[in-house]
Amino acid sequence: MKRTGGDVDEALLVVRCQLGERDALAELVRRWHTPLWNYLRRMVNTAELADDLTQETWVAVLRGLPRLKEAERFAPWLFTIARRSLLNRLREDYRVPPEPEPPVVAGDPVLDRVELLAGLAGLPLLEREVLVLFHLHDLSLADCAAVLDVPAGTVKSRLFRARGMLRARLAEKGFHRG
């Protein structure tokens, strides 16, 4: 089931954070740190960069949390902040020549998590991002649209295109649906 942002417990937790409860903030970070880091890690080349972006995102969340008006929309708000941090960093990185990526060594033709993530890593940013948000973080179409700042129809078309690109990329590597 897709998250809709309407989790009452989570909204209450966000409101408690806004009221300054440290335990509530610790719990919010505990709940969302791993999904946030996983999203960013799937979008960048290194774990170290994902760590940096995750930290930047949490700093921005702490600064902006008092102004969040819809506590039940915390998840899309969090991923929107993470996306902004990511895009800012990518803009900086495009000014510097990229380092060459290590070659991918094909193993047993059974699709596993490593190969799936390698397939995702090879997709263009827009397609990779929509797959990660929708399928790996269970955001609804509406929440993906809010994070990406595009209409829901654009999310649907990106998902369709991204799935096809991922399928083709995995087929090139010898992984086919059984």
pLDDT of the chain along its 178 residues, tens only? 344 444 778 999 999 999 999 999 999 999 999 999 999 999 988 899 999 999 999 999 999 999 999 999 999 999 999 999 999 888 876 665 555 444 444 444 445 666 777 788 888 888 888 988 888 888 899 999 999 999 999 999 999 998 889 888 888 877 665 4
* pLDDT given for residue 64 in this prediction: 94
* pLDDT given for residue 132 in this prediction: 87
* pLDDT given for residue 85 in this prediction: 93
* pLDDT given for residue 112 in this prediction: 61
Own/partner pairs for 10-15, CB < 8 Å, 24+ apart?
10/71, 10/72, 10/74, 10/75, 11/71, 11/72, 11/74, 12/71, 14/65, 14/68, 14/71, 14/72, 14/74, 15/71
Own/partner pairs for 111-120, CB < 8 Å, 24+ apart?
111/170, 111/175, 115/170, 115/173, 115/175, 116/170, 117/42, 119/166, 119/169, 119/170, 119/173, 119/175, 120/42, 120/166
| Distance of alpha carbon 70 from the chain centroid | 21
* pLDDT given for residue 156 in this prediction: 93
* pLDDT given for residue 114 in this prediction: 67
* pLDDT given for residue 134 in this prediction: 87
SS3 8: helix
Among positive and negative, which fits the CA dihedral 31, 154, 159, 57? negative
H or E element: which one contains 43? Answer: helix 22-43
